[in-house]
Chain A
Amino acid sequence: MLGVVRQKMLGQSLPKIRPVVSVLRSYSSAAKQMTVRDALNSALDEEMSADPKVFLMGEEVGEYQGAYKISKGLLEKYGPERVRDTPITEAGFAGIGVGAAYYGLKPVVEFMTFNFSMQAIDHIINSAAKSNYMSAGQMSVPIVFRGPNGAAAGVGAQHSQCYAAWYASCPGLKVLTPYSSEDARGLLKAAIRDPDPVVFLENELLYGESFPVSDEVLDSSFCLPIGKAKIERVGRDVTITAFSRMVGHALKAAEILEKDGIDAEVINLRSIRPLDRSTINASVRKTNRLITVEEGFPQHGVGAEICASVVEESFAYLDAPVERIAGADIPMPYAANLERIAVPQVEDIVRAAKRACYRSVPLAAAA
């Protein structure tokens, strides 16, 4: 360690001081539960109600009520002018959406999954992300591209990729990854109100999950800031960053680690671009150990960027190498047993955290 003297007594159960948590969690006295699906639906509904320029476009969003029922009821409420069923032609309708945004409308373009966004990626990057820069501010593109991202269950190689790293590498885009219903509401509303192109990466397996929501979250003015991560669980011993569905895995891992005397801090990134480097670094300066968790492919992934950021800004504070947990470096297999080992599991996060805390050997040997 370079000049940083610190005494850490890992493995001893220190009194857990957690008043900070309940202050931070001012929303925690929530009575209501809301699914992520309903959170997204209500956010869309409220933003469409507030601003007539907002419209929704995508496959099966209207009459079918949404492939995953996210847009349920919206066609009935807002009519076919504002809820548009498109043909199965992503390049076409994404381009049309960007054009509409150039002119001043606020399109919400749904991809049935982000795998299909690859058909439209030229418009997302070249037509949307770069326009404000190329035009020196004349052409802002207030568009939201949203839909499920990452692995579902048993959908195979062409339907399981996570696009967070790809989109987040592109300047001009904002990339958001909600986890809870609060995230879904607050970030989607923020995305729709934002004047820049936002890639909004949801997760199919989260749609049916319920989370507590406070009255503040349910209010139609509720909005979360873009570019700010949330500390879901305060801890002292190791930082775990995650986004989307992996936040749930990280929280479960933290519970398991707690039984072994490791107090993990879990950061829900919420925003991949802009990445909240200051929250991440502040956390690592406190804990000195970092595990990054993501579903996507490891090479050039989100974890790689986070690791680089921490090495650049907080090298002196690291007591262990940064650990990366990511999807396996292979196309997603279909067979259930292979799929299970291709996607990060809670035990992977626990194992990596123990390694970072030098807890991979039995306690007796370390004493």
Chain B
Amino acid sequence: MALSYLRSSSSRSANLLRPLSSAASLRRPISTDTTPITIETSVPFTSHQCEAPSRSVETNPSELLTFFRDMALMRRMEIAADSLYKAKLIRGFCHLYDGQEAVAVGMEAAITKKDCIITAYRDHCTFVGRGGTLLEVFAELMGRQAGCSKGKGGSMHFYKKDSNFYGGHGIVGAQVPLGCGLAFAQKYSKDESVTFALYGDGAANQGQLFEALNISALWDLPAILVCENNHYGMGTAEWRAAKSPAYYKRGDYVPGLKVDGMDALAVKQACKFAKEHALKNGPIILEMDTYRYHGHSMSDPGSTYRTRDEISGIRQERDPIERVRKLVLSHDLATEKELKDIEKEVRKEVDDAIAQAKESPMPEPSELFSNVYAKGLGAESFGADRKEVRATLA
């Protein structure tokens, strides 16, 4: 399961093994409890050109608790990034994902690390879902050597190839044909795995998406296009950018599913369904109805094109972490205190990672010239003053 190594196992299981005051005293420790529970998604799925999966999702206490912890970690990480940006420790662009955690977490629950994920620039949580560490995140954001891209990429360019996470892309829409290319390679190699290519409602109108989708459908590629519809492309609401904002239908001949992206279980179910479909029948579109609490980026207040009431309304009614918290409590899987303790632990993990990241040095100046090529052939490269700074590319 994703993020399992992030749990500080000893203290938590100690807490859980203590006798609990609630009535369900025969409860097993939830960290290992895989007793199946069936939970209904918040809303049924809406489908296009296919039969929707059931809204009854199989899960278990361990998984639900993992969802809670992982989303709480992602939430805390993004909030911490906000502070670091304001403290000018993070520069340039910083696009935060808080509110959208259920998509990253639900998707991982349905797939393996053999499946590929590719996304755009709102990639911090997706990276963590693929097994990236908090240290790698914060160090990269601060441009340090311990960063996942050694400080050379920045917020928009996180990668983790060993977990089949292909970035981290700055140009809107570009990641979709790239994702279809990953799917092409998976099929070519007979790997029996699929690719999830994530994009936003803003990117959904890009022509290259339809070009890649057409080819994927012609060639039966195991490509799953996932529209993370947070309803705003930077400052432009979906209805102002798309003649048809029913993104799950935009594939026309390609089937689609509309999913409550704030419900991690619904996301999991949809991704499981999509993977099965893609391996047999080629591309499928998933539209995740989700929401970002922050503006488009740290340069965007996020309040000039939407109301504060809308934002707080979503937080009240549909927050993904609160949804899982309520499930855990109503099914008596943990106490409020236990969940609060998890949140405290997660907060500490984030703080520790930030402290560690701050200790990581900036890249060596020689790193300027590394990785230009995979095979440099001894070509020359130059600094700003070519007579002063030059290097041979290895």
**What's the least CB distance linking B371 to chain A, in Å?**
9
| Chain B stretch 125-158: residues in CB contact (< 8 A) with chain A | 143-144, 149, 151-157
Does A82 interact with chain B (Cβ within 8 Å)? no
B151: which of A88, A118, A335 is its contact (CB, 8 Å)?
A335
Does B365 lie within 8 Å of A87, measured CB to CB? no
- Are A298 and B91 CB-contacts (below 8 A) given A89-B205, A159-B170? no
A63 to B241 CA separation, bound complex (whole angstroms):
13
A326 to B389 CA separation, bound complex (whole angstroms):
12
Does A334 lie within 8 Å of B143, measured CB to CB? yes
Does B384 interact with chain A (Cβ within 8 Å)? yes
Does B162 interact with chain A (Cβ within 8 Å)? no
B154 partner residues in chain A, CB cutoff 8 A: 154-156, 334
A91: which of B151, B207, B362 is its contact (CB, 8 Å)?
B207
**Which size class do B's interface residues fall under?**
35 or more
What residue in chain A is nearest B92 (Cβ atoms)? Answer: A154
Does A282 interact with chain B (Cβ within 8 Å)? no
Does A70 interact with chain B (Cβ within 8 Å)? no
Does A352 interact with chain B (Cβ within 8 Å)? yes
Does A119 lie within 8 Å of B171, measured CB to CB? yes
A138 partner residues in chain B, CB cutoff 8 A: none
**Which size class do A's interface residues fall under?**
35 or more
Does A264 interact with chain B (Cβ within 8 Å)? no
A326 to B151 CA separation, bound complex (whole angstroms):
23
B149 partner residues in chain A, CB cutoff 8 A: 334
Does A222 interact with chain B (Cβ within 8 Å)? no
| Chain B stretch 349-394: residues in CB contact (< 8 A) with chain A | 362-363, 365, 367-369, 372, 381-389
- Are A64 and B91 CB-contacts (below 8 A) given A88-B241, A328-B389, A348-B388? no
A309 to B267 CA separation, bound complex (whole angstroms):
61
A350 to B363 CA separation, bound complex (whole angstroms):
26
Does B38 interact with chain A (Cβ within 8 Å)? no
Does B367 lie within 8 Å of A64, measured CB to CB? no
A27 partner residues in chain B, CB cutoff 8 A: none
A333 partner residues in chain B, CB cutoff 8 A: 151-152, 363, 367-368
Does A334 lie within 8 Å of B152, measured CB to CB? yes
Does A336 lie within 8 Å of B143, measured CB to CB? yes
What residue in chain A is nearest B242 (Cβ atoms)? Answer: A87
- Are A87 and B241 CB-contacts (below 8 A) given A154-B92, A348-B384? yes
- Given A63-B305, A159-B170, 16 more contacts at CB 8 Å? A63-B236, A87-B233, A152-B92, A156-B170, A298-B386, A329-B383, A330-B369, A330-B372, A333-B152, A334-B153, A334-B154, A338-B151, A338-B367, A338-B368, A344-B384, A355-B387
